[in-house]
């Protein structure tokens, strides 16, 4: 009962946190203005809630994600359950990540390729490369089955090799 009357700690947004959130938002929407709006919206939501500073980033990332998919739901195609993909649960994470690690690319081609990727693929790459999340952490953050993520990576790698053979190179 006394916790209710105890004043909640004031939430503060560091520049580092705001920039990380902005980049995450950018990985979803690819537009700076929209990314800023998403960050602002997540800040406003956090201020209305009682969120501990420790879990602030994870909570705000979820806010940004939910907000984005709510606002731009009409851009998403309806979900089709591919049984073949669902059965690819046994894909080995280590092998799949090695595939990703083996891709070499020029700095100036990153933006070109990101533009061609789907939102899910961009988000996956961002969380893996920039945030350094494990597949399990990405699965939790995006509420997606780990097997689905691994399948997505496999398909992504194939796509990169097929669609952008001149931009990417695989090293063994």
Partner 1 sequence: MKAPKQKKQLNKQLKAHYQQHSLSELQLEKLQNLSVNNKPSLIKPLLAVAASSLLALSLYIVNFTGLNYGDISEEIAYNHNSQMQMEVFSESIDGIQSHLNRLGFSLIESAQLAGESWQLVGGRYCSISGKIAAQLKIKNLNTLKTYTFYQAKLPEKFFNIIQDKEIFVDGVSVKMWQENGLLMGLAK
Instruction: State how far the Cα of 1 lies from the Cα of 15, in Å rounded to an integer.
Output: 35
Single residue of 128, 135, 142, 147 touching partner 1 by CB under 8 A: 128
Q: Among residue numbers 39 through 78, which ones bind partner 1 (CB under 8 A)?
A: 39-40, 43-44, 47
Say which residue the tokens 């591919």 belong to. Answer: 82
For 156, residues 6+ apart whose C-beta sits below 8 A from its C-beta are 100, 117, 121, 124, 125
x/- mask, partner 1, residues 1-20, rule CB under 8 A, reads: ---xx-x--xxxx-x--xx-
106 forms part of the interface with partner 1 (CB under 8 A): yes
β-bridge mates for residue 168, sequence order: 105
164 forms part of the interface with partner 1 (CB under 8 A): no
Instruction: State how far the Cα of 102 lies from the Cα of 116, in Å rounded to an integer.
Output: 20
Phi-psi region of 114 (alpha: psi -120 to 50; beta: other; left: phi over 0): alpha
Nearer to partner 1, 22 or 59 (CB): 22
Binding site for partner 1 (CB under 8 A): 4-5, 7, 10-13, 15, 18-19, 22-23, 26-27, 32, 36, 39-40, 43-44, 47, 100-101, 103-107, 110-111, 114, 125-126, 128-130, 168-169
């Amino acid at each position: 009962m006394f916790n209710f009357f105890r004043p909640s700690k004031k939430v503060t947004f560091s520049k580092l946190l705001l920039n990380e959130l902005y980049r995450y938002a950018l990985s979803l929407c690819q537009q700076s203005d929209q990314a800023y709006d998403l960050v602002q919206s997540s800040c406003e939501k956090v201020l209305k809630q009682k969120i501990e500073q420790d879990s602030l980033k994870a909570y705000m990332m979820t806010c940004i994600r939910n907000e984005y998919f709510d606002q731009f739901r009409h851009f998403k195609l309806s979900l089709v359950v591919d049984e073949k993909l669902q059965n690819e649960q046994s894909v080995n994470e280590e092998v799949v990540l090695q595939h990703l690690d083996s891709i070499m690319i020029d700095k100036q081609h990153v933006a070109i390729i990101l533009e061609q990727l789907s939102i899910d693929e961009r988000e996956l790459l961002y969380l893996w490369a920039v945030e350094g999340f494990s597949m399990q952490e990405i699965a939790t953050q995006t509420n997606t089955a780990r097997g689905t993520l691994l399948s997505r990576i496999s398909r992504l790698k194939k796509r990169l090799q097929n669609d952008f053979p001149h931009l990417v190179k695989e090293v063994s």
